[in-house]
Amino acid sequence: MEHHETRIPSIAIVCGSDTQIGAALVARLHDSGATTITIDLPEAAAHPAAMLRLSGDFAEERDWIACAQDIQERGLHPAMLAYAVSEAGDPTALADLGQAEWDRIITRNLRGVYLACKHLFPLMRRPGAAVLLSTMLAGWDARADLVALSASSGGVLALAQALALSGAPLGVRVNTVCCPAPLPADETIRRRALGRIPLGRATGPDDVADAMMFLLSDDASYLTGSSLSVDGGQSLQSWSNAPDLPYSEL
């Protein structure tokens, strides 16, 4: 079988380069020789490796329009878009979750993705382009105390699948990377959570960046509408094989 060298698009847009995952992705893209455009919130510090650093309110359509126009006016032709923002919020039961907090998480995680894709996707209407969205939980898990995250992540996953259908005739691939929500701060609960991860450690930003780099490369040229879980095997756990549940209790 002929081996094809992994290639990353020459110009990439990364939304959320100030997040841990976004920063890891920008660093990997930079090391691969790609030119990176970053789009971050006004108060965020853009990644120093970025060639062009843009900012705006992710909830405001006019800011996304301005970013797209800036990229076009500079004569840049990006071939990759990655939205690396997925905010969990503080664990809160639905009955105690205020509307303002619900709106903040839904806006950051789902409305931001919708606006980014609406205005940046048209810049990449050509074969070989790739869109990559990151979420927590979507596709394999849910948390009763993170309902806004669960809802927004499910929405991102559905949006990615719909966008994959519209992008396919143009040769544009759209995929999603899913990672677990942050582990609890309580040390006892954290140890139990780690015990449920088959590979024995929490998912790190570099783990997610590795998966992103694969999905953006030509090695994934036939993948679209797919969701890749980067979870150390957590999605394989169930009540019957959880390590903290002795067989005597089954």
pLDDT, tens digit, 9 for 90 and up, residues 146-176 = 888 888 999 999 999 999 999 999 999 999 9
The larger pLDDT score, comparing residue 31 to residue 143, is at 31
Q: In the predicted model, what is the mean pLDDT of residues 188-198?
A: 80
pLDDT in the model for residue 242: 56
pTM: 0.87
The edge-to-edge listing of strands for the beta sheet with 130-136 is: 52-55, 35-40, 11-15, 80-83, 130-136, 173-179, 227-229
Give the Cα separation of 219 and 199 in Å (integer). Answer: 25
For residue 109, the 8-state DSSP code is I
DSSP bridge partners of 52 = 37
Give yes or no for a contact between 129 and 166, defined as CB atoms under 8 angstroms apart. Answer: no
The predicted structure's pLDDT at residue 250: 32
Helix (H, G, I), strand (E, B) or coil at 38: strand
Q: CA 202 from chain center: how many Å?
A: 17
Please, what is the angle between helix 112-120 and helix 147-167, to 10°? Answer: 20
> What is the per-residue pLDDT for 36?
96
- Reported confidence tier of residue 192, pLDDT bands at 50, 70, 90: confident
Q: What is the pLDDT of residues 61-112, one digit of tens each?
A: 999 999 999 999 999 999 999 999 888 878 888 888 899 999 998 998 899 9
Q: What is the mean pLDDT of the chain?
A: 86
pLDDT at 249 (0 to 100): 36
Q: What is the pLDDT of residues 24-66, one digit of tens each?
A: 999 999 999 999 999 999 988 889 999 999 999 999 999 999 9
Number of Cα atoms under 13 Å in the Cβ half of residue 180: 18
Which domains, from first to last, does the chain contain?
Answer: 11-249 (3.40.50.720)
Instruction: Find the helix or strand (DSSP H, E) in which 175 lies.
Output: strand 173-179
Among all chains, which residue has been given the structure tokens 């995680």? Answer: 109
| Rounded Cα distance, 148 and 89, in Å | 8
Q: 138 pLDDT exceeds 90?
A: no
Query: 3-state class of 206 per DSSP?
Result: helix
What pLDDT score was predicted for residue 186?
76
Chain centroid to CA 134: how far? 1
